[in-house]
Structure 1
């Protein structure tokens, strides 16, 4: 959904799917059919994720930051850092506030060697 709201494309295949990635993929497919893309929709979707899934999304964003030197093997540690540093009641806002969200997620997925199919 971040791709659709903020722009850009994700291409490739899903390898070793992760729970929140699967959920996001299915959600994006549904939204692609209905063509209802909005920041409010993204916020609602993210708000409904479990705290663990939100931590994984944030860790994936951190992994995908351009200046990030973290690699795939650092992902579990990043999840732990998120749990320690980001208050649970702020996680949704923290994710939504990132204008480069789509880019960070895409780069993080590439570092984890997980790609999602493009939604056009």
Structure 2
């Protein structure tokens, strides 16, 4: 649970993966950019609720003694999850920056 440990990065990565997919889905379906989704669409309430729910759900296996690092075989392993989370974090930042620069939706 310490700052440099794997738990904070896993939780942030999971939230970023869901956030990135949700942001692109809303852009495609409603045509709202990321900033409009957050300010006009009630996005803050959904973000806080989802963050709390996923954070607690991510900690349950840890409290039961199950370590995500133990899963090392197959394509759905601990390293793949970390890298997907990192890429999703970068994707959200890139999406926000691009939309800010062009002044509208990306897709």
Which TM-score bucket, shorter chain as reference? 0.3 to 0.5
TM-score (norm 1): 0.32
Structure with larger Rg: 2
TM-score (norm 2): 0.34
**Which of the pair is proportionally richer in helix?**
2
